[in-house]
Amino acid sequence: MARQERAEVTRNAVLLAAAQVFAQHGYAQANLSEIIAESGVTKGSLYFHFASKEDLARGVIDEGNRRLDVACMPLSELRDPALEIMIGLSYLVTDVAAADPIVAAMFRLHHEIGDQRGTGDNVVETWLGYQVALTERAVAEGDITADPDSRAVGTFIFETLFGTRVVAYATDALDELPARMERVWYYILPSLVEPSKIGYFREFAVRRSRR
C-alpha cells in the first residue's frame, strides 16, 4: 500500500472512531485517549492528521457534510416539484444520519463546538441557502403560496426542520425523528400551500416517512 493511501486509511479510521465517541459522549466529554483506542492508531498518527480535539471535531463535520452532500445529490438534482424535493430531503437526511455515524456526529457537533463550522464556512448557512432556493422554486411552481418574502418562508421551514432534529438529539429521541418529521409537515403544510393541495402533500409526506 502506497504511503499516501496508508495515510488516508489512517485518517479515515481516526474520523470514524472520533465520530463514534463524539456521538456517544458529546464534544465536552470525549477524550483523545478513547478515540486513539477506538481507532487502533498511535497517538503520533492521530496528531499527524489532527492537531487537537477541536481540529478533529471540525474534520468530522467536514467529512459528515461531504457524505451528506453525496447522499442528497441525486434527489437534489431531480427536476421534481421543489416542495416534493424539500419533503424528501427532510427524510433522507434523517435516514443518512441514522446509517452513518460520521453524519450523526456532525449534527451533534455543530452546536456543541459553538460556531456551526467545519474547517471552512458555516455549513448551516449553506443548508439554509439551499432551503431558501427550493422555497423560491416552489413559489414559482405554484405549490407554495406566493409570499413577498420567500427567504422568510424558506428560513421558517428550515428552522422548523432543523429545530426538530436538535430537540430529538437533546432528548435522546432520534428513533422518533421520522414520525416527528411527518408531524411537522402535517402541521406546517396548511400554512404553505393552497387548501386544495394540502391533502396531496400530506399524503406525499406520509408515504415518504413510511417507505
SS3 readout for 55-121: HHHHHHHHHHHHHHHHHHHHHHCCCCCHHHHHHHHHHHHHHHHHHCHHHHHHHHHHHHCCCCECCCC
Which residue did the predictor score with more confidence, 123 or 139? 139
- What's the predicted TM-score (pTM) here? 0.87
For residue 45, being part of any structural domain is answered with no
For residue 168, being part of any structural domain is answered with yes
By the 8 A CB rule, do 46 and 32 touch?
yes
Per-residue pLDDT of 147-175, as tens digits, reads: 778 899 999 999 999 999 889 888 889 88
For residue 31, being part of any structural domain is answered with no
Position 169 scores a pLDDT of 83
Region 19-29 average pLDDT: 92
User: How many C-beta neighbours within 10 Å does residue 103 have?
Assistant: 23
For residue 1, being part of any structural domain is answered with no
Which residues have a Cβ under 8 Å from the Cβ of 24 and sit 6 or more positions away? none
Q: Which domain holds residue 106?
A: 54-209
Q: Which CATH number does the domain housing residue 142 bear?
A: 1.10.357.10
CA distance 97 to 211: 16
Region 63-76 average pLDDT: 92
For residue 178, being part of any structural domain is answered with yes
Position 8 scores a pLDDT of 86
- The share of the chain scoring above pLDDT 90, in percent, equals 64
- Check whether 1 has a pLDDT greater than 60: no
For residue 30, being part of any structural domain is answered with no
Per-residue pLDDT of 83-108, as tens digits, reads: 999 999 999 999 999 899 999 999 98
Confidence of residue 3 (pLDDT cuts 50, 70, 90): low
> In this structure, what C-alpha cell is assigned to residue 85?
424535493
For residue 21, being part of any structural domain is answered with no
Region 24-39 average pLDDT: 91
Confidence of residue 211 (pLDDT cuts 50, 70, 90): low
For residue 108, being part of any structural domain is answered with yes
Position 137 scores a pLDDT of 94
| Counted domains in the chain | 1
